[in-house]
Amino acid sequence: MSTLDGITFTQQLKEALTEIVQANSDTDNATTLQSILNESTASIPLNAITIAKSLAASDETLQKLNESLKSTQLIFTKTKKVEQTAVYAKRINKLKLKEQEREYNGLTKNINHKVEDDATLSSMMYAATVGANMIVAPISIGVLMYFFAGRLFSFMIPDYAPLPGKVNIPGMIAGVLGGVSMLFIEMILFVIRNHEMDRFVTKKKKKGKNKNPFGYDAKSAERTFEG
d(CA 175, CA 19): 128
Measured N-to-C along each axis, helices 11-23 and 46-55 cross at an angle, to the nearest 10 degrees, of 40
d(CA 72, CA 77): 16
Q: What is the pLDDT of residues 185-207, one digit of tens each?
A: 888 888 888 888 888 878 777 66
d(CA 7, CA 75): 5
d(CA 158, CA 156): 6
C-beta separation of 3 from 76 below 8 A: yes
The helix/strand/coil state of 7 is strand
Q: What is the pTM of this model?
A: 0.37
Q: What is the pLDDT of residues 94-145, one digit of tens each?
A: 888 888 888 888 777 766 655 555 556 667 777 788 788 888 888 888 888 8
